[in-house]
Amino acid sequence: MPEGWVLAQDQSAPESLLPPGFDEPEPAPTPTSRPGATPVEAPANRPVAAPSEPATAPPAGAIPSAPAPDVSAEELSRLPSLEELEELSTEELDALLGLKPKFDIPPAARRSLARVGLLAPSEGGLPARSFARQPRGLVRAILAGTDGVLVSRWGHILVRRALVSRLAAPRGMNPVSFVALRAGVLNRMGEYAAARALVQDVDTENWNDALGNEAIAAFIGAGDPVGACPYIRLRGLSREEREADPRRVMLSAICNAYAGESARAVSQLDSALNNGIAPAIDILLARRYAGAAGRGQRGVAIEWDDVDELNPWRFALANAVGEPIPERLYDDAPPYFARAGAAMAMAPLGSRGEFAARAASEGILSSRALIDLYSTIYADEALNGALDDRARQLRTAYIANDPAQRVAAITALWEAFEGNEDYAGKVLTSYAAARIPPSSEFAEQAGGLIAAMLAAGLDRDAALWAEVVEEGSAAWALLALANPRGDEASLSAIDSFVDADESAEQRRSRFLVASLAGLGRIDGDALAAFEDRLDLGLDRQSRWSRMIARAAEVGNPAMVALLAGLGMQGDDWAQMTPLHLFRITAALTQVGLEAEARMIAAEAVARA
């Protein structure tokens, strides 16, 4: 709809909205004679009804009236009002009038729904038909039941890999619904960039409501609200959605602004503010964001004084327009903002540094991404305080000539992180730890150095310490699990580790023995002895344990990965049981994912 166009105005005569010629009656067909055709005569005795009244010619200039269409009251109630018509964008008006084509993508360019995802098997993805023959109810239950947060960083990485693999939908399940379920798990994991990429592998025309909702959540979580515009403008908004979902109303206005309809966007947001469909701060941020599109830009003052909490919409738009968020709003804020903000390039560098600790501990950020972020922090002369100190320590951990200095800088970085984010210190120092030459001089720090290397999957670098570490020590336990050679652990070494274990409820010892059993690195007699001593209960069965064992038995790595994620839910390793760890490592090893099993097992012992 052109800018400034209105439906009702002072004019001499109403104008038709139809193209020329569409409002003219179709001419009656002219009888034609065909060769060989026999004319048909009317029966001679057919009665002719006499008119009840004399026929009269219509007045000159009168328009013959057509019979009234049969329209129900319900259909009339769904027609938009004049006020609603004025709010419609060009695309929405075209859709209302039936002028919009069903597909706006050439047939040759439309993407198939047979397999949807980012990673083909040749690129590291899991087998494409892993779910094709699985019961759709079971697959739906597993995906819907995964809340997203996993205790294991390596478990998180494995589940993400399974979800973004190029997969076929289970038989009988709508492929779009399958993608929506996968995107929902990614969103709950804090993997908004991955969820955004996954939903974009489906043509917008094919999105259903479930996928649309997950896509909007992914775009907002990734700080990219305009990414949802193709869906918002193609689909339009119903009257019910306008009343129930203020976020979509504001998104519609933003999308209109970035489509060149700035005046309409301003009108929509002004109307939203006057009607109070959402808190003023949300609408003002939307107005600031829409104003950045160009014409119609107006100065918008953002006041946070009366704002008591942060939500995803405020967080995304404030960062997108460079509006500082008061520090008080981060107090007691849920982890959502750390998971989303760590990967937002437009977020302030200092904030990203604070967010990154949790994101790296959980597996959202890779070790390389975290190291690159701290390199950027080091280069920013405007940053001071704890982040700058960590960046300088990290530089020392890499470039100091004396290995002892490098080890001192590494251990200082471990101590700089606390609570649920303490593992970020290991992730940050992973490659610096791999540069330390194995030496008995660092026997005391060997366990931490090996844990740091394994946080980035550097198992071969860690294995170089095998001749240096003391048998039965914490460093030995990590190597016994992570060493690619797969040597069987000695009974005496396990016994020494158990005797020295001071963790709560001897959790490290229980995780060690359960993982060794899952990886097949302990003999049956030794396992029986330690199972009684540590009360492991590895023989217990549950519906979940039977499902993951069956998936491993039939060689289905994608199903095993998702079931492993289902069994690792939680935000603390205290919520993990030796039984679950045993079943997970055993199943992963059986389906060819032994490397992931080894990393999960070593992480469990390191973080218990």
pLDDT in tens, 464-473: 999 999 999 9
For residue 485, the number of C-alpha atoms closer than 13 Å in the C-beta half-sphere is 11
pLDDT above 60 for 482: yes
CA distances from 549 to 96, 251, 581, 582, 586 (A): 53, 46, 13, 11, 8
pLDDT above 70 for 533: yes
- Per the model's pLDDT, the better-predicted residue between 595 and 56 turns out to be 595
Which of these, 259, 254, 250, 300, lies nearest to 277 by C-alpha position? Answer: 250
What are the pLDDT digits (tens) for 439-464?
999 999 999 999 999 999 999 999 99
**Alpha helices for 300-402 (secondary structure H):** 312-321, 336-341, 349-362, 367-379, 386-399
CA distances from 544 to 517, 540, 564, 583 (A): 19, 11, 9, 10
What are the pLDDT digits (tens) for 5-24?
333 333 343 444 334 443 44
- Per the model's pLDDT, the better-predicted residue between 564 and 237 turns out to be 564
- Residue 464's SS3 state is coil
Mean pLDDT of 189-213: 96
**Alpha helices for 245-311 (secondary structure H):** 246-258, 262-275, 280-291
DSSP H helix total and E strand total for the chain: 31, 0
What are the pLDDT digits (tens) for 535-560?
999 999 999 999 999 999 999 999 99
Structure tokens at 366: 């890779």
pLDDT above 60 for 49: no
Q: What is the band of 96 on the pLDDT scale with cuts at 50, 70, 90?
A: low
What are the pLDDT digits (tens) for 155-184?
999 999 999 999 999 999 999 999 999 999
Mean pLDDT of 466-489: 93
- Ordered DSSP codes for 138-166: HHHHHHHH--S-BS-HHHHHHHHHHHHB-
Burial zone of 380 (CB within 10 Å; 0-12 exposed, 13-18 middle, 19+ buried) = middle
* Cβ neighbours for 197, distance < 8 A, ≥ 6 positions apart: 118, 164
Q: pTM for the full model?
A: 0.83
Q: What are the backbone angles phi and psi of residue 368, rounded to the nearest 5°?
A: -65, -40
State the Cα–Cα distance between residues 321 and 340, nearest whole angstrom.
Answer: 16
Q: What is the band of 324 on the pLDDT scale with cuts at 50, 70, 90?
A: very high
Which of these, 179, 172, 174, lies nearest to 143 by C-alpha position? Answer: 179
What is the per-residue pLDDT for 419?
A: 81
396, amino acid identity? T
pLDDT above 80 for 481: yes
